[in-house]
Amino acid sequence: MSSKKLATFLAENLEDLKGKGLYNVIDPLESANGPMIIINGEELVNLSSNNYLGLATDSRLKEAATEAIQQFGVGAGAVRTINGTLKLHLELEEKLAQFKQTEAAIAYQSGFNCNMAAISGIMDKNDAILSDELNHASIIDGCRLSRAKIIRYNHSDMDDLHAKAKDATESGLYNKVMVITDGVFSMDGDIAKLPEIVQIAEEFDLITYVDDAHGSGVLGKGAGTVKHFGLSDKVDLQIGTLSKAIGVVGGYVAGKKDLIDWLKVRSRPFLFSTSLTPADVAASIRAVELLTESSELNEKLWENANYLKAGLVKLGFNIGNSETPITPCIIGEEVKTQEFSKRLYKEGVYAKSIVFPTVPKGTGRVRNMPSAAHTKEMLDQALVIYERVGKELGIITE
């Protein structure tokens, strides 16, 4: 018989979430996750995917994946350290290291896994981690898993970071101290102040850790936030995902050879979880090659992002402090934000609302993710709908 306690727990909590409007309703796609998507038979302009460069549907990646399936099958068959390492995995890691201008790299099954693996692989209960308060959930979980003391600093507040770094290092309580930040913050699209962070790290001998899930393929002509600031030799760990600009799935850590060697013997997702499939690896290799060979897709992404941003600002929307293609349309009040997103959806634009508790109360927004694959016509179509719905709901004036 199944547990009555579990049934009560689930019923009560699901009801509670639904009452608070926090129960996620998932709309399955009936098409690929490209610039236009089909949901419930309706075609919509897609402004909610992380497929920044359009590579998720690129024919060159599909070809590479198909060939790899024919040659190696659909699964890697084991964890990396048993016999789940194909030559393809090593080729991908070499290419990623070159791409990030580091000595070495290690691939994992997701970006989320990278943070669990790398943070807990290096830090332990005798250490402390200085973490930006807006860091991604996987960083927060990785920090918790490490059992290190977590010291949050105010978002991108360098005075606060400096003071907390000084306290932590001078206290004598900790062995190693790490500073950890997103390269690009996914809710507002702002960029971490890496030059200042690196300077503070040098002053207090902190380990520097940058999760560049949203910066890779986007900043530094595609090479990421660390390259954007010319700091490739100053950051100890660069984390990337293969699921956003690269268009596939998986993640990686890039850094010095000793660090990567250590993670290969100590990080648990590498040791205990089956490796990336041949198709994922081959498609990712092709994507990294494309990004290294040409900046064309990166330039198109920025052109489209600047076009959409200018269009929204001209209409009177508040796009916050975004410095990257991530374009929030800040509406404010939670119910109104959700209503706005629903109306956009009905009219033909898929742009998800993000409200408290994911973002602070009163800063609800509809987040737009333009990509290199959008055409000007698609973006214009979205802007026309934004204007109509924005006026109808009184978010912008007539």
Interface contacts to ligand PMP, rule CB under 6 A: 110-112, 136, 138, 182, 186, 211, 213-214, 241, 243, 251
Return the DSSP state at 266: H
Catalytic annotation on 244? yes
The residue among 182 and 334 lying less far from ligand PMP, judged by its C-beta, is 182
Provide the token pair at 261: 């060697």
**Taking the complex as a whole, how short is the minimal distance between the CB of residue 76 and ligand PMP, in angstroms?**
17
Residue of 131, 186, 284, 341 with catalytic role:
186
Chain position whose Cβ is nearest to ligand PMP: 111
What gap in Å lies between CA 364 and CA 329, rounded to an integer?
9
Nearer to ligand PMP, 117 or 385 (CB): 117
User: CB 71 → ligand PMP: shortest distance, Å?
Assistant: 25
- Tell me if residue 214 is catalytic: yes
The catalytic residue among 244, 275, 284, 322 is 244
CB of 111 to ligand PMP, least distance (A): 2
CB of 48 to ligand PMP, least distance (A): 12
Rounded to an integer, what distance in angstroms lies between the CA atom of residue 278 and that of residue 275?
9
Q: Could you tell me the smallest distance in angstroms from the CB atom of residue 374 to ligand PMP?
A: 20
Based on CB atoms, which residue is closest to ligand PMP, 184 or 389? 184
Q: Respond yes or no: is residue 275 known to be catalytic.
A: no
Quickly list DSSP for 168-214.
Answer: HHHT---S-EEEEEESB-TTT-PBP-HHHHHHHHHHHT-EEEEE-TT
Question: For residue 145, which of 174, 116, 112, 176 has the smallest C-alpha distance?
Answer: 116
Q: For residue 205, which phi and psi values (nearest 5 degrees)?
A: 55, 55
- Both tokens of residue 191? 């960029």
Give, in degrees to the nearest 5, the angle at Cα 217 between 363 and 69.
115
Residues 100, 136, 164, 214: which is the catalytic one? 214
Closest to ligand PMP by CB, 210 or 389:
210
Closer residue to ligand PMP, CB minimum distance, 49 or 363 = 49
Residues 6+ apart with CB under 8 A from 388: 347
Q: Which residues are catalytic?
A: 186, 214, 244
